[in-house]
Structure 1
Amino acid sequence: MYHAHVYFDAEQILIAERFRQQIAAERRDVLMVFGLVPRRVGPHLKPMFELHFRDNQQQLIEWLDAQRGPLSVLIHPVSGDDAADHQAHNIRWLGEPLGLDRTIFRNIR
């Protein structure tokens, strides 16, 4: 399983919502598309929405990259170890890398 987090600023909220709807309508290989989260949450430094897919599907990742416009996307595996899943060697950025607040994971272990 993989997660993708699509980040947006306040002025990009309509772009993010249109992209979210496009993913839900066009991509049958995406298992779940969640709603917009209009604030920072967890290790994420910007508002975002999340989607889940089964594996590291290159075709889906290329499509996300082509369709994302100005939005940055973080892709990471889901192993059950959130701290490990969000380490630099396990993540892939589409667009501008925004970084993460990994200090949140200190409280989980």
Structure 2
Amino acid sequence: MSPTSDDLMDIARAGADRIDIEGEARQFPSFSDIEDQCEDEYGELLDLLHEDEVFEPVSLERQEELLNQIKQLLAADSRELVDELVDNLTRHIWLHQEAAFHLGMAVGLRIAMGRRQ
């Protein structure tokens, strides 16, 4: 059975409860701070999402194998194009992750402010 949004939010809230907000010098923690402080919950969220039938299992090892197989089929001068594509895709994923993190922070703050009124 696929995890529901409520299931995922329960785990995310448990992680959020562990976040250490450091004084007034910096109002919002960075993604890497959150990742470090909520490592267990972050891993649990990823594991649940990987089990969901919508998201096929993700294996970095398998990605590396596929990449190497593709590169072996190409002429030497074309292999750099594959490396460039992989690097660009990695940056693309990172941008989406950063955007989702900051949007999630903003939505969370908006919800929190609405509950205070």
TM over 0.5: no
Q: Which has the higher contact order (CA 8 A, sep 6+)?
A: 1
Larger Rg: 2
Higher strand share: 1
Higher helix share: 2
TM-score calculated relative to the size of structure 2? 0.27
